[in-house]
Amino acid sequence: MKKENIVLDDIPEKAHKRIHTVNFAFLALIVGAVLFFISQALFVMFVVDDEERVAILGSNETVSEVTLDNFLGHDYCGTFYIWLTVGNNYGSVGNYEAANNAGRAMKGIVDNTVRTSAPILLLICMLIAFRKADKRLFFAHNGWRFLMTAGIAVLIQNIWSVSMQILFINAEQPFVTGIFENRRYYCQVYHLFGIPALIIMTALITRQHTLNVQKKDTSANSKALKALSVLMGTVTAAFILVRLITRVYEIINYKTYDAMLPFYSDLLTLPRELADSLETYRELLGFRLLKDMPVFISSAVTVIMLIKIMLSSARNEINTTQNMKRFNISMILLFISSLIFNILGLHEVNVLNEHFEGIYGSVVYTIGLRALCDPVLYVVIMWFVKTFVSIAGNNNTE
């Protein structure tokens, strides 16, 4: 039986060299990460002493061994983090134990399976997609399916995480104190839904080219691209508008209203009484809005560029000079806004430490990437999307 001849993808040579480099770097990164975690596990098991091992892995402390000063970790807000202890989080050892019991009751095999399987599936799908692109078989073998699978897997995991986090906050709420008493769920739309949306967008764009190569009808895929562009634009506009209105409202009503700061998936109170004066409080809120404005602007421009890329791809104008420029504009703006955001964060930390008391009076500076809100994260993702779009046929000017 003769082996069927395989038609290799028509990929621009420059783009193929880039995908070859990315494929090698991605594989090396995964191997390096696996070796790192193995070495760390062996180090903890056989090198460190018992006291350090307990500090790293935790311990099964009884109620009598837990104190109000027990360190529980950090919580990140933009470019700073706060220190969490039993005292400032729960107010008493009894509340801490009750909250732990409520949290443990919600976690089980299903939760662990969903949270573990999605990242593994993402890595496997991305490895296969990069491998096929490197072998010039991405379009011939419908490589878009692996991107779509990865995007849907991440989306399902994120929806699950949102549901579990809301349930966890509600279960723990009766036992918290201080700034956590009025805690509300905060949906990081850009992280929870933006990342899977970009992966799915990449899958649809590469599918559009695949259908063209295979001389199949692209009308349904074009409609999907247009629908995704409308959805992405609507959600982004709504999120930015709500956040801007909320921030302005907090500044205007600073004398009577406590602002809420976003920490990962929580909105926590910034009490007015912790500031040395109301004027300081207002100035901090104004400065925080100023610090975040470049991020809002660059995010809005990026989404507009992505919408234009999707709409042009729906017209079968995919790997064009204009689309490559749109990617570059987005990445440059996101990178610049990231620099401004992180540099201005230094002043924000100084204001908090010098003019606030309590949990906000001893914050520590960190890069915004730790809170998953740094635009530089999306520079990397945009570069990934651009890499796959660039292999979709020859580059032609619109």
Q: Are 291 and 340 in contact (CB under 8 A)?
A: yes
The sheet with strand 364-365 has its strands ordered as: 71-77, 80-85, 364-365
Residues 6 or more apart whose CB falls under 8 angstroms from that of 6 comprise: 137, 140
Q: Are 375 and 338 in contact (CB under 8 A)?
A: yes
Tell me, what DSSP letter sits at residue 275? Answer: B
Tell me, what DSSP letter sits at residue 8? Answer: P
Q: What is the pLDDT along the chain (398 residues), one digit of tens a residue?
A: 444 566 788 888 888 888 888 888 888 888 887 887 788 777 767 765 554 555 455 555 555 578 888 888 889 999 999 999 999 999 999 999 999 888 777 776 677 787 888 888 998 999 999 999 999 999 999 999 999 999 999 999 999 989 988 998 999 999 999 999 999 999 888 888 999 999 999 999 999 999 999 999 999 999 999 999 999 999 999 999 999 999 999 999 999 999 999 998 899 999 999 999 999 999 999 999 999 999 999 999 999 999 999 999 999 999 999 999 999 999 999 999 999 999 999 999 999 999 999 999 999 999 998 888 899 999 989 998 999 999 987 665 44
pTM, entire model: 0.89
- What token pair was written down for 76? 């990140």
Q: Are 269 and 310 in contact (CB under 8 A)?
A: no
- What token pair was written down for 287? 């400065």
Instruction: Give backbone dihedrals phi and psi of 260, rounded to 5 degrees, phi first.
Output: -115, 125
- What token pair was written down for 282? 């207002």
